[in-house]
Structure 1
Amino acid sequence: MLLPNKTICPECGAKLLRRSRWKSHTEKRSHPGHLPFRCVGCGHRYIAPVKHNRAAFASAAAAVMLASFGIAIFISSPTDPILAEWGNDNGRPVPSAALNAQTLEAAEAGDAEAQYRIGKSRLVDATIEPAKASEAVSWLQRAADSGHTEAMVYLGRIYQSGIGALQNYELAAGWVERAAVAADPEGMLELGRFYRDGVWYDKNPIQAYVWMNRAAASNAPGAAREREAVARMLDGETLKEAQRLSLEPIAPAPADELSEED
């Protein structure tokens, strides 16, 4: 969540920030009375003393929780009851007002990461202004077309849920598969879920295990737990086969473009 705090970013001087995670227990023990933050404006991570006003913090937290309730459907997988994390260091969605002019300028110039950030921010805006959803999809599409795998996963989830865009399992599977074959951990986990649940593809527990196994090896959160659940669907021989297939090289992504017009 965005935090009202007296500290400012030492890199750019911005005051809009969010909590980051400690990188290790050693780092946490070495900074008593401090917390790690990440600047929303420039993305710089830094550690600063805790000086926030508790009343202001509670008010801001309540407001963000209400907004996040609406947008969580965009960033979670409908095939999995666990919502995607909001507080991770990969860049949690923020309202458009939190994006600086440099981000917008970079996105217009073709920067895929900036396009991805704007796409996610428009999803937050869409909780209040539904028309922003189509704009979000457009920005995410531009980022995904440039090879941004996290944008591909977002698009896959949007098209799978049918919230923010017309439900389209073919597009959902297409984007998720592209992210997976590009070795994106979340993409591999999502593709495993598609095979497990029969979304677009026929149900295939072997392929589900293969992709979840690769996702777990890449440290995708929750992948190991879901892999073990799928493993219980397999007998000894099919589990051996799934583990063998996990070692095979991943085939390249299809070259055709994916869009709602296809």
Structure 2
Amino acid sequence: MKKALWAFLCAAIFLSEALADKVSDAKEQTSNNLIIKNAQNALASGNYEKAFSGYYDAAVHDNNALAQFSLGLFYRNGWGRETNPVVACQWFEKAAQKGIPTAQHLVGVCFEQGTHHPEDPIAAANWFQKAAQAGHIHSYCHLANLLMTGTGFPKDPAKALELCRPAAQQGSIPAQIWMGKFYLQGDSAIRDKQEAYRWFAAAAQKQAPEAFYYLGLILQSDLPARHAPKEIRQLFEQAAALKYVPAYFQAGKHFFHAEPDPETNQLSAEHLAKAYLWLSATIQRSEDMEEITAAKMILEQILVVMPQTWLAELDQKVAQHLQEN
């Protein structure tokens, strides 16, 4: 009887200790979840410092993968701090190792570009493969790009298209952009401008800024044959309005070179103003020095004929566009 009672007491003590551990773990998990939730709410409201502090605490002390990934985004996007691609990639790699698919994709890009380690296409390919298999399907297209360009692997354009096409057919906008680029700029054996146009058009239907830009480039290359300058201007302006920076110069340049008003034989007021807007945006946002130089030269010509009274309003519009999220 005593032995049975002793065994019962031992079992009760063991169970109570196990239950206490579970309660403690549950409390800790609840606390961690609350930290993440508060950080997410702070980020949504634009309180970057509070959000960063919460994510950092969860990333460092709790080794939380979502928090580590979020810190990578802070440094990648410059949320409340200077952008730092190296630190962003370091955080992405920590999150990737814990199975976050988007982090796996982004750390693949980091290895591809040699951001936080020397360029390593093999490591990049491994991460792209993991991300794709975890559901980040357009990672297959980044893997395909390595094959298309022969970076770290023998060139295989046919295999590249085979890898990327299913994601594009499923409606992935990044995959459709990649397919357009492959057919437009890839190996000469597979170049097909009509196929490129088809894939860019599919992405443009979903308001992808880059797609409008490439459609403009394709039509521009065919200009002598079939296409009206107005259509090209509209495509570049759509991309620029959606803040695709490479489209700023193209939009401004095409508005400056638009057909003159038949009554005055001068550039219309609308086209003059739009040329000024997009060329000013080019100077403030482009990283292409040749574009910036060309934009400044065209602006000098615009300022000769444009009324000075327009400047304040137009400059305000440029600033508003560049500040909008």
Common fold by TM > 0.5: yes
Larger fraction in helix: 2
Shift of 1:211: 0.7
Q: Is the 8 A contact 2:72 2:87 kept in 1?
A: no
Q: Partners of 1:96 and 1:163 in 2: how far apart?
A: 20
Q: Which residue identity is paired with 2:124? A: P
Shift of 1:227: 0.5
Q: Partners of 1:94 and 1:211 in 2: how far apart?
A: 37
Match of 1:232 in 2: 256
Q: Is the 8 A contact 1:119 1:135 kept in 2?
A: no
Within the candidate set 149, 152, 159, 1:128 is matched to: 152
Does residue 36 in structure 1 map to residue 88 in structure 2?
yes
Deviates more, 1:124-133 or 1:217-226: 124-133
Q: Is the 8 A contact 1:95 1:122 kept in 2?
A: no
For residues 148-227 of structure 1, the aligned pairs below 5 Å read 148-163=172-187, 166-198=190-222, 202-227=226-251
Shift of 1:105: 4.8
Q: Partners of 1:27 and 1:154 in 2: how far apart?
A: 31
Larger fraction in strand: 1
For residues 24-173 of structure 1, the aligned pairs below 5 Å read 24=79, 26-28=80-82, 35-37=87-89, 39=92, 41=96, 42=100, 43-44=102-103, 60-61=117-118, 63=119, 95-99=124-128, 101=130, 103-106=132-135, 114-125=136-147, 126-163=150-187, 166-173=190-197
Q: Is the 8 A contact 1:185 1:219 kept in 2?
A: yes
Within the candidate set 13, 16, 21, 2:76 is matched to: 21
Deviates more, 1:211-220 or 1:135-144: 135-144
Change in CA separation of 1:183 and 1:237 when aligned onto 2, cut-off 3 Å: farther
Shift of 1:136: 2.6
Match of 1:259 in 2: none
Match of 1:89 in 2: none
Change in CA separation of 1:164 and 1:104 when aligned onto 2, cut-off 3 Å: farther
Which structure has the higher relative contact order (CA within 8 Å, separation 6+)? 1
Q: Partners of 2:224 and 2:179 in 1: how far apart?
A: 15
Q: Partners of 1:23 and 1:99 in 2: how far apart?
A: 24
In structure 1, the gaps of 5 or more residues are 1-6, 46-56, 68-92, 107-113, 244-262
Change in CA separation of 1:135 and 1:147 when aligned onto 2, cut-off 3 Å: same
Shift of 1:133: 3.5
Q: Partners of 1:200 and 1:94 in 2: how far apart?
A: 45
Shift of 1:190: 0.7
Change in CA separation of 1:201 and 1:143 when aligned onto 2, cut-off 3 Å: farther
Q: Which residue identity is paired with 1:115? A: I
Q: Is the 8 A contact 2:157 2:190 kept in 1?
A: no
Q: Which residue identity is paired with 2:81? A: E
In structure 2, the gaps of 5 or more residues are 1-58, 105-113, 272-325
Q: Partners of 2:146 and 2:72 in 1: how far apart?
A: 16
Shift of 1:130: 2.9
Q: Is the 8 A contact 2:132 2:138 kept in 1?
A: no
Q: Which residue identity is paired with 1:36? A: A
Shift of 1:206: 1.2
Shift of 1:12: 7.1
Quote the sequence identity (%): 15
Q: Is the 8 A contact 1:156 1:173 kept in 2?
A: yes
Change in CA separation of 1:174 and 1:103 when aligned onto 2, cut-off 3 Å: closer
Shift of 1:204: 3.0
**Max radius of gyration: which structure?**
2
Which TM-score applies when normalising by structure 2?
0.46
Over the aligned positions, Cα root-mean-square deviation in angstroms equals: 4.2
SS of 1:202 mapped into structure 2: coil
